[in-house]
Structure 1
Amino acid sequence: MNQTISSVLRIASFDIHPSAVYPIFIMGLLVYCFSVLSNVTILALIVTQRSLHRPMFYILFSLPLNDLIGITAMFPRLLLDIVIMKNTVNYPLCVLQAFLLHMYGGGIPFILAAMAFDRYIAICKPLRYNSILSPFGVTAVISLAWGVNFALILVLFLLQARATKCRDFIMNVFCDNFSLLSLSCGKDLTINNIYGLSITAFMHITTVTIQLFSYIQILVTCIMNKQSDTKSKALNTCLAQIIVFILFEIVGLFTILSYRFPNITPNARKACGMLIFLILPVLNPIIYGMKTKDIRTAFFRILKKGKISSSK
């Protein structure tokens, strides 16, 4: 017989030796603080530096913002659980965490597709760039990337909410749609599974197609155009995006494979599930800081001004 789920859920935890709890907490806190600081720095540069007030960087603004949503939704609660070892979570907060994490995961490919489209227009259709990516055009691209992702994830969670809950144990160290569905019983979840697989396929196929088309067209343009400055521009503006895209695919594949090998320890499997919410928010600002000349220049300009001001 089904019963109503408690408002407080038990949640899986890492098996950590007591002597390692605080070192792991401190290391995790430093990683989180670095990610927040570096992503906020990118956001602040785009907002405050007039040299970055261009369509490319308006679209790029979404990436560190999305990274902050992902790592903040997952990491602080996990670090708190490691220290206090309470390993419980309120059901509404669990649903909120799951929704934000899915928004983050779905947002990455859509944002990368929007950024690839921007580079395609800039390099392949430079004379039409300002007319296509006008303020209205940029707003439309950004709204489409966030809006489609939000609508797809919202429907996913509305379908999940209709299921009767009779269990109170979250099988992962963080809440996600699969863990919430595992609380259900006595109801056919076929439509949930079909919809989940469908939106995953739609997101992946659509965004990868846009990126492949954009980068192939950019490559063709570089080959046809013998001017070295055009090739250099293409390389400098696309390299960071391509690195992030490849990194996203590798981390996603590695996470999926970790669930297919039975010999992996429970701790390792849980850690692999966290990778996509941890590695990209930490590495993305480093990649864009190193590979995007305009961001690097703006950052060092501010540092130089700070040194001059402090020396007076």
Structure 2
Amino acid sequence: MMNNVSVITIFYLSGLNDKINHRLILFSLTLLCYCAILLVNISLILTIISDKNLHEPMYILLCTFCINGLYGTTGFFPKFLWDLLSPVHVISYSGCLVQALVMYSYACSDLSFLAVMAYDRYVAICRPLRYHSVMSRQKLIKLMCFSWLTPFCIIGTNIYLTSRLKLCSLYIARLFCVNWIIVTLACYPAETIVNSIVAYITILIYVFHGFFIVWSYICLLKTCVSSIENRAKFMQTCVPHLLSLTTFLLTILFDVMNMRFGLKNLPQPFNNFLAIEFLVIPPLMNPLIYGFKLTKIRNRYLDVITFKTVKLSCLLCRR
């Protein structure tokens, strides 16, 4: 086996039971879920892009947040839908590394965007007179580049280190490729020390993101307690952010616990759901949360729906 490790070109994804029943139903539900994710995210993105009144830092960040959700789900759903219709669940070695890069850079970018959005709310409520100078267009572009490029480079470094390992197994017990599991397939565990160090540094970086968000909200709460106007701003713009943050952290927590502790006593379908929930729940819920809670976006939706309804009524009347 040691002589053949260099010729590994594919991985077998064994997370999906080969004897699974009702595969067509699962395929239909998955396709429906993916279409719903595409619909709600693209609708919100187009709404923000098309309405100049929404060309403000908070809404631009929300737009890029939704684009990131589309980026992450595209790394999983098309391949998973194909696997549901295929008798053999395989992925190329390079494709596996790319999938791991896409999905985990998406997750890290999500946390970065949540941190930047917390900073935006902190400046808007705690430093309102300086908001437009602090959140200038140049600063906004820098923050968006930070939220995308930094996670991509960090996760890319992890993936590069993984690509240098000699592997002794072709089987990944998941529905998709996970960098941590690929590392466990290494023939020589001693070679994975650098991978582990970089992985813990990565975790530490994003733990600091979490601390920054907590600090931002401590400042926000202190400011909002003494002002009715600030409390109204907090309820309107910060509550959706907190809901998104809570959803994201819970889904990531369950996924990490599932990877690290291997809840093998649970049914396989439930384990699979725990593995993919960070790719399903946040991308689906975030646009809905913001769309219903933020007044400008909600009013824009209502205007579009009203216009379409009136136009349809006029067409029916002419007939």
What TM-score, normalized to structure 1?
A: 0.93
Aligned counterpart in structure 1 of residue 205 of structure 2, from 199, 202, 207: 202
| 8 A Cα contact 1:51 1:298, kept in partner | no
What TM-score, normalized to structure 2?
A: 0.91
For 1:14-163, list aligned pairs within 5 A. Answer: 14-15=16-17, 19-163=21-165
What residue is the counterpart of 1:192 in the other structure?
195
Per the TM alignment, residue 262 of structure 1 is displaced from its structure 2 partner at its CA by 4.0
* Root-mean-square deviation over aligned CA pairs: 1.7
When residues 119 and 113 of structure 1 are mapped into structure 2, their CA distance, relative to the original with a 3 A threshold, is: same
What residue is the counterpart of 1:288 in the other structure?
290
> 2:91 is paired with a residue of what secondary structure?
strand
Write the deviation string for residues 234-284 of structure 1: whole angstroms up to 9, x where unpaired.
211000000111111222222233353442233322321111111111111
What residue is the counterpart of 1:303 in the other structure?
305
Separation of aligned partners in 2, 1:256 and 1:177: 12
| 8 A Cα contact 2:15 2:172, kept in partner | no
1:272 alignment partner AA: L
Q: Which runs of 5+ in 2 are unaligned?
A: 315-319
2:145 alignment partner AA: S
Separation of aligned partners in 1, 2:23 and 2:76: 18
Q: Which runs of 5+ in 1 are unaligned?
A: none
Aligned residues: 309
Per the TM alignment, residue 26 of structure 1 is displaced from its structure 2 partner at its CA by 0.4
Is the counterpart of residue 234 in structure 1 residue 234 in structure 2?
Answer: yes
Per the TM alignment, residue 311 of structure 1 is displaced from its structure 2 partner at its CA by 3.4
Separation of aligned partners in 2, 1:164 and 1:221: 54
Aligned counterpart in structure 2 of residue 277 of structure 1, from 279, 304, 307: 279
| 8 A Cα contact 1:12 1:87, kept in partner | yes
User: Which moves more between the two structures, 45-54 or 244-253?
Assistant: 244-253
Separation of aligned partners in 1, 2:202 and 2:38: 29
Per the TM alignment, residue 118 of structure 1 is displaced from its structure 2 partner at its CA by 0.4
Write the deviation string for residues 27-68 of structure 1: whole angstroms up to 9, x where unpaired.
111011001110111111111111111011111122111111
| 8 A Cα contact 2:12 2:91, kept in partner | yes
> 1:189 is paired with a residue of what secondary structure?
helix
> 2:11 is paired with a residue of what secondary structure?
strand
| 8 A Cα contact 2:166 2:187, kept in partner | yes
> 2:12 is paired with a residue of what secondary structure?
strand
Percent identical residues: 27
Per the TM alignment, residue 230 of structure 1 is displaced from its structure 2 partner at its CA by 2.5
1:15 alignment partner AA: N
| 8 A Cα contact 2:18 2:87, kept in partner | no
2:212 alignment partner AA: I
1:137 alignment partner AA: K
Write the deviation string for residues 276-311 of structure 1: whole angstroms up to 9, x where unpaired.
111111111111112111111111112222223333
